[in-house]
Structure 1
Amino acid sequence: MYRGYAPVGDVAVMPWGHAAFGYVLYSLGHRLVTGDPPAGPAVVVALLFGTQLPDLVDKPLSWGLGLFPQGYSVAHSILVAVPVGLGVLALTASRSRFDVGVAFTAGYWSHLLGDAILAVPKRGISPLDRLLWPVVTLPPYGHETTLFGRIDRVFGEFFQSVLTTKHLLFLALYSVPYLLAFALWLVDGAPGIAHVRRTDSGQ
């Protein structure tokens, strides 16, 4: 089913935005539940992989293979993400790695939340439109697209828009959330890297 609004594929959260948003949500949630910061490289890797998974699946399916009109389909659908997340939680719990399952699922679901939040102020459409495939299918892009062509367009337009003198204030404001996420990671003890350093030093 197509809705009567303009394509929204050009409104995208950058990969580092999903990573930062996912880490902040997971770190604060972990602290709230356990009282401790997140730790361990496996947990961090699972979290970061989860934050990128929807785009790693849907963008190639759309931009590269042309199977879907936009890069929001199977992996962005809550009808897929919810059972996949619950399945991962069950699997990792059975193998005594529930912490890894929680990190992956938190990262995955945070990606969808980030996309839904962005859709509201940018286009004034329902936050769920991107997340209800196959019930809702977004209209096709207004131009031909290839995988590498689309990647070049998205990143090129992004950097062109922020790396100019007149956008320095915007760039500064844009950087604030990432600096806060990085600061939180440092406060948490740099999980992932700190563990690797201790292992290398034999501690």
Structure 2
Amino acid sequence: MWPWGHAAFGYVLVSLGSRVVRGKPPSGAAVFALLFATQLPDLVDKPLSWVFHLFPQGVSVAHSVFVAVPLGLLVVVAAYRFQRLEVGAAFTVGWWSHLVGDVGTALLYGFGPEFALKRVLWPVATFPPYDDQQLALERIAEYLGEFLATLSTGQQLGLLAVYFGPFFVAFLLWLVDGAPGVRELRDIANG
């Protein structure tokens, strides 16, 4: 799943959850926490693998349910203690939705459940190391090239729907929610 897909999926979950639990859209602070958390597993694991070569693949510690579940629960408890439960919950939902999105995307691509679940079971399950020692930018370019090549096949309409449909739905929902976060950004810009 690409970054915008993780952000969109997480936003839909947090927005709908906020409406059910609190009866109103998420706050700007919750949206910022969510957006950061939806990217967190890749921001941690990709550099640890691609730049520092500490892990053989770009899915390891931050993609692991064995790390994400206890730390996510700890964030919620701490947020509750500091009366910022909405922000802590949004962060945790964002992180966990990233893992669910990666598993779901693997299943959509036709990989079996064993492969899909292996993505979130580090260190119990791991992938073999990359065949080469590409630089991080080379690996990103390779992934982007594969994505663009896939879009030029007969699968492009389905892939466009999978990759950009949730983003479009999330964007519309964000507008309906009153564009949370914009006011906070405007306040920061105006000092």
Q: TM-score, normalised by structure 2?
A: 0.87
Structure 1 position 158, deviation (Å): 2.2
* 1:113 matched residue in structure 2: 100
Match of 2:3 among 3, 15, 22: 15
The change in CA–CA distance for 1:188 and 1:141 in structure 2 (over 3 A counts) is same
Change (3 A) 1:184 1:142: same
* Structure 1 residues 133 and 36: CA distance shift in structure 2, 3 A: same
Q: Can you list the C-alpha shifts for 1:158-188, whole angstroms capped at 9, x where unaligned?
A: 24543x5977745753433221111011011
Q: Distance in 1 between matches of 2:51 and 2:93?
A: 27
More helix by share: 2
Structure 1, residues 125-155: CA drift from partner, whole Å, max 9, x if none? 4232111111111112344422121112112
Deviations 1:7-45 (A, max 9, x none): xxxxxx1101100010011111111112211122x2111
1:38 is matched with 26
Going from structure 1 to structure 2, the CA distance change for 1:146 and 1:37 (only over 3 Å counts) comes to same
1:142-161 equivalences in 2 (<5 Å):
142-161=131-150
**Aligned counterparts of 2:153 and 2:54: Cα–Cα separation in 1:** 40
How many Å apart are 1:196 and its aligned residue?
4.4
Give the whole-Å Cα distance in 2 for the aligned partners of 1:99 and 1:166: 42
Gaps of 5+ in 2: none
Listed one character per residue, the Cα deviations across residues 91-139 of structure 1 (whole Å, up to 9, x for unaligned) are 1212111111111101000000101111223222423211111111111
Runs of 5+ in structure 1 lacking a partner?
1-12
Against the structure 1 CA distance between its residues 125 and 46, is the aligned structure 2 distance closer, same or farther, given a 3 Å change threshold? same
> Which residue among 44, 67, 71 is the counterpart of 2:58?
71
| Matched residues, number | 187
Give the partner amino acid of 1:97. R
User: Residue type of the partner of 1:106?
Assistant: V
Output the CA distance in 1 between the equivalents of 2:156 and 2:127. 33
Deviations 1:59-92 (A, max 9, x none): 0111111111211100000000011101111112
Q: Give matches, 1:40-59, under 5 Å.
A: 40=28, 42-59=29-46
Q: Indicate conservation of the 8 Å contact 2:45/2:62, yes or no.
A: yes
1:87 and 2:62 aligned: no
Aligned to 1:141: 130
Aligned equivalents of 2:14, 2:149: Cα separation in 1: 31
In the TM superposition, structure 1's runs of 4+ consecutive aligned residues that sit over 6 Å from their partners are 165-168, 198-201
Name whichever of 44-53 and 165-174 sits farther off. 165-174
**What is the TM-score of this pair, normalised by structure 1?**
0.82
RMSD: 2.3
